[in-house]
Amino acid sequence: MLSALLVAALPFAPMTVVVIALLNPAVIAVALYLGAKANEAQKLVVAAFAAALAGVALIWLAAELRLEFIAKPARAAAGIFVLQFLFGLVWAAIGYRFLRKR
Is residue 21 within 8 Å of residue 27, measured between CB atoms?
yes
What pLDDT is attached to residue 7?
47
Please name the amino acid found at residue 20.
Answer: I
Instruction: Answer positive or negative: Cα dihedral of 6, 12, 14, 20.
Output: negative
Q: Considering the entire predicted model, what is its pTM?
A: 0.84
Question: pLDDT at position 73, please?
Answer: 73
Per-residue pLDDT of the chain (102 residues; tens, 9 = 90+): 444 444 455 566 788 889 999 999 999 999 999 999 999 999 999 999 999 999 999 998 988 888 877 767 767 888 999 999 999 999 999 999 999 887
Q: Residue 59 and residue 70: Cα distance in Å, rounded?
A: 7
Query: What local confidence, expressed as pLDDT, does residue 8 receive?
Result: 53
CB distance 33 to 95 below 8 Å: yes
Q: Is the dihedral of CA 62, 64, 66, 71 positive or negative?
A: positive
Q: How far apart are CA 61 and CA 58, in angstroms?
A: 5
pLDDT of residue 66: 83
* Cα–Cα dist 71/69, whole Å: 6
